[in-house]
Amino acid sequence: MAQTATIYNLSIDLSDVDRGVYEQLDVRIARHPSETAEYMLVRVLAYCLEFQDGILLTEGVASADEPAILVRDMTGQITAWIEVGLPDASRLHRGSKIAKRAAVYTHKGRQLLSQLAGSKVHKSESVPIYALDSEFVDEVSRLIDRRSSIGLSITEQQIYLTISGKDFTTSIHQHRIS
């Protein structure tokens, strides 16, 4: 019998000082059986860091044709293509051509940059790679339950996160494909 996705209900108090975004988010996310807790966490963080009108979480690893996160304008046009993890160059190339903006969030920055080095990606100089510290992602992902409350503040490219009474902090490192 095939395994089904596990549903997580996350209550996130988001304060993104860098962008002036202050929201109370109730995020319902399906974690596919092949999706790691770390990948899911990075997907949730990317959603919060990109939060705006028209944003939506796709099926993640279960979706072959879509990125982890899409942003659409009021006409349905894709305005942002946000990948998570270790996307291959062809997906980034496609997303960069389809959307006005493409970006990647990962906790495997060195591996991704090495994988993409020398690859053909449309407008690669304008595709930011946002790398999160893997230890931060590992520690926080172990604390996420199917129902979790998260406090998330972002200021000057620093993430301050509270979950299960524990506080964490990390930097967001931005890279470009070379």
Select from 3.40.50.720, 2.30.30.90, 3.10.640.10, 3.20.20.140 the CATH code of 6-176.
3.10.640.10
Domain ranges of the chain: 6-176
pTM of the model: 0.93
Distance CA 152, CA 13 (A): 6
Q: Strand runs (DSSP E) across 32-177, as ranges? A: 55-57, 69-72, 78-84, 101-106, 128-132, 147-155, 158-163, 166-176
pLDDT tens string 81-138: 999 999 988 888 998 999 999 999 999 888 887 878 878 888 888 889 999 999 999 9
Indicate the DSSP class of residue 61.
G
**Is the CA virtual torsion 74, 30, 80, 14 positive or negative?**
positive
Q: What is the mean pLDDT of residues 48-55?
A: 97
* Better pLDDT: 49 or 92: 49
Average pLDDT, the chain: 92
pLDDT tens string 19-28: 999 999 999 9
